[in-house]
């Protein structure tokens, strides 16, 4: 077939030029070069159509083989056959989620930038409205789980903008793609099988199972394993519905915090100032010291007054260094770090909770 293409090309070039096309090429290699050039061109075209999806050599074919293995493993775990077929019917490779997982922010934002985008005044206003609108249910759940209602609302607002932004990626496709990519295969594979359990238990239909590019789900943005560990069927309808049912959403948030050591009598922290260099800082448990220690080392309230004289341990954190905002944070902040390891995130939740407490 290739020879026929070459012959046609040579014939056409000969007709439309006053001299043979061969004379345009080095004499001994003219045909060989032409064949080589066309072969490379055709090969490049074929590669462009079927090229791997990443530098790691990921491909649609490789992904399909990987998914077939996942299906066999899932069947061995006893997942209902009919639900298994439904779950695997539309799983596709999503290179975009792999790209998102690898991407790093090009510009480092400051905590001030972060708070301006995560806790703007309009969100605070909505948070207060949501708190007041759902106050009876929130206070009931707060009392049961020992977690102040304002923190439930603050986490709800930060994670999904009060349920409005839950993600539109296929959770199964996203997790399968991230597991196939391989850098954190066990994490995403375990969460993939957790999703299958969630479907098998009937908490949501596979067609409605959408979430973030990383596989976080619902108004709580739980990863599937967190769902299995902490999600609550608070309204007793047989489904742990973190997608649509506020009672289940609020109770699931509260259950997570309670199970991870939340102190219902305490708060999260306070912004402070330094009057001299401190001996150490950071979230390491070994760096938690009584307020009296921090006071003796020149730490003051943000307004410059003395710290309260109470027996509470705290960590000193400086997310942007000594020139940025500085906080003393308590045990509840460490619990928030189990939800999300970003100190920016923890401060934003605490800050929003304070604004809710003030009523705006």
* Residue 124 is assigned to a structural domain of this protein: no
Name the band, by pLDDT with cuts 50, 70 and 90, for residue 146. very high
pLDDT score at 3: 40
In this predicted structure, the answer to whether residue 105 has a pLDDT above a threshold of 70 is no
Do 337 and 346 contact (CB within 8 A), yes or no?
yes
Which residue in 286, 354, 273 sits closest to 318, CA to CA? Answer: 273
The answer to whether residues 30 and 88 belong to one domain is: no
- 24-38, 129-143, 210-224: lowest mean pLDDT where? 24-38
The answer to whether residues 171 and 251 belong to one domain is: yes
- Phi and psi at residue 273, in whole multiples of 5°? -125, 160
**Sign of the Cα pseudo-torsion (125, 130, 136, 141, in order):** negative
Give tens-digit pLDDT for 115-124.
Answer: 999 999 999 9
The answer to whether residues 177 and 234 belong to one domain is: yes
- Phi and psi at residue 258, in whole multiples of 5°? -60, -45
pLDDT score at 2: 42
In this predicted structure, the answer to whether residue 212 has a pLDDT above a threshold of 90 is yes
Q: For the chain, what percent of residues have pLDDT higher than 90?
A: 79
pLDDT score at 104: 62
Which residue, chain included where needed, has tokens 């345009």? 24
The answer to whether residues 35 and 179 belong to one domain is: no
Whole-number Å distance between alpha carbons of 25 and 28: 9
* Residue 25 is assigned to a structural domain of this protein: yes
10 Å CB burial of residue 299 (0-12, 13-18, 19+) is buried
Whole-number Å distance between alpha carbons of 216 and 166: 8
233-271 burial, b at 16+ Cβ within 10 Å, e below that, comes to bbeeeebbbbbebbbbbbbbbbbbbbebebbeeebbbbe
The answer to whether residues 17 and 76 belong to one domain is: no
Question: What's the mean pLDDT in 61-81?
Answer: 94
pLDDT score at 129: 98
Q: Look up the domain containing 13 and give its range.
A: 2-48
Among the candidates 215, 235, 259, a domain finishes at 259
* Mean of per-residue pLDDT scores for the chain: 86
Do 226 and 240 contact (CB within 8 A), yes or no?
no
* Residue 336 is assigned to a structural domain of this protein: no
The answer to whether residues 92 and 11 belong to one domain is: no
pLDDT score at 108: 80
The answer to whether residues 44 and 66 belong to one domain is: no
**How many angstroms separate the Cα of 226 from the Cα of each of 134, 183, 232, 237, 249?**
24, 21, 11, 20, 13
Report residue 74 CA to chain centroid gap: 24
The answer to whether residues 25 and 68 belong to one domain is: no
* Residue 304 is assigned to a structural domain of this protein: no
Name the band, by pLDDT with cuts 50, 70 and 90, for residue 101. confident
Q: What angle do CA 38, 42, 47 make, to 5 degrees?
A: 145
Among the candidates 214, 233, 259, a domain finishes at 259
* Residue 146 is assigned to a structural domain of this protein: no
* Residue 276 is assigned to a structural domain of this protein: no
pLDDT score at 102: 84
pLDDT score at 348: 98
The answer to whether residues 43 and 169 belong to one domain is: no
* Residue 269 is assigned to a structural domain of this protein: no
In this predicted structure, the answer to whether residue 24 has a pLDDT above a threshold of 70 is no
Q: What is the CATH number of the domain that holds 250?
A: 1.10.8.350
Question: What's the mean pLDDT in 298-319?
Answer: 96
**Sign of the Cα pseudo-torsion (293, 299, 301, 305, in order):** positive
Question: What's the mean pLDDT in 317-343?
Answer: 96
pLDDT score at 107: 61
Q: How many structural domains does the chain have?
A: 2
Name the band, by pLDDT with cuts 50, 70 and 90, for residue 6. very low
Whole-number Å distance between alpha carbons of 195 and 356: 34
In this predicted structure, the answer to whether residue 218 has a pLDDT above a threshold of 70 is yes
pLDDT score at 34: 36
Q: For the chain, what percent of residues have pLDDT higher than 70?
A: 83
pLDDT score at 57: 77
Say whether pTM exceeds 0.85: no
In this predicted structure, the answer to whether residue 14 has a pLDDT above a threshold of 70 is no
């Amino acid at each position: 077939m290739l020879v026929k293409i070459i012959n046609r090309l040579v014939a056409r070039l000969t007709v439309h030029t006053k001299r043979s096309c061969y004379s345009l090429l080095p004499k001994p290699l003219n045909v060989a070069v032409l064949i080589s050039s066309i072969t490379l061109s055709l090969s490049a075209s074929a590669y462009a159509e079927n090229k791997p999806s990443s530098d790691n050599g990921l491909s649609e074919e490789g992904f399909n083989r990987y998914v077939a293995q996942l299906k066999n493993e899932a069947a061995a775990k006893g997942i209902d056959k009919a639900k298994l077929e439904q779950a695997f019917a539309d799983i596709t490779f999503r290179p975009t989620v792999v790209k998102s997982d690898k991407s790093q922010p090009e510009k480092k934002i400051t905590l001030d930038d972060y708070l301006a985008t995560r806790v703007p005044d309009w969100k605070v206003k909505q948070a207060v409205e949501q708190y007041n609108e759902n106050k009876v249910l929130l206070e009931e759940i707060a009392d049961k789980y020992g977690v102040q209602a304002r923190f439930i609302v603050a986490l709800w607002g930060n994670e999904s903008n009060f349920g409005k932004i839950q993600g539109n990626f296929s959770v199964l496709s996203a997790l399968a793609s991230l597991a196939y990519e391989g850098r954190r295969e066990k994490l995403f594979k375990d969460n993939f099988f957790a999703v299958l359990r969630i479907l098998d238990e009937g908490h949501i239909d596979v067609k409605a199972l959408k979430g973030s590019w990383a596989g976080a789900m619902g108004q709580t943005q739980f990863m599937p394993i967190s769902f299995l560990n902490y999600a609550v069927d608070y309204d007793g309808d047989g489904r742990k519905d973190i997608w649509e049912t506020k009672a289940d959403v609020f109770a699931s948030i509260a259950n997570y915090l309670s199970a991870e050591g939340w102190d219902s009598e305490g708060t999260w922290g306070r912004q402070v100032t330094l009057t001299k260099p401190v001996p150490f800082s950071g979230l390491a448990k070994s760096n938690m010291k009584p307020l009296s220690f921090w006071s003796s080392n020149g730490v003051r309230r943000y307004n410059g007054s003395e710290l309260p004289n109470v027996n509470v341990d705290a960590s000193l954190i400086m997310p942007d260094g000594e020139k940025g905002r500085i906080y003393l944070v308590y045990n509840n902040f460490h619990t928030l770090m189990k939800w999300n390891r970003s100190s920016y995130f923890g401060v934003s939740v605490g800050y929003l909770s304070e604004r809710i407490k003030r009523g705006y």
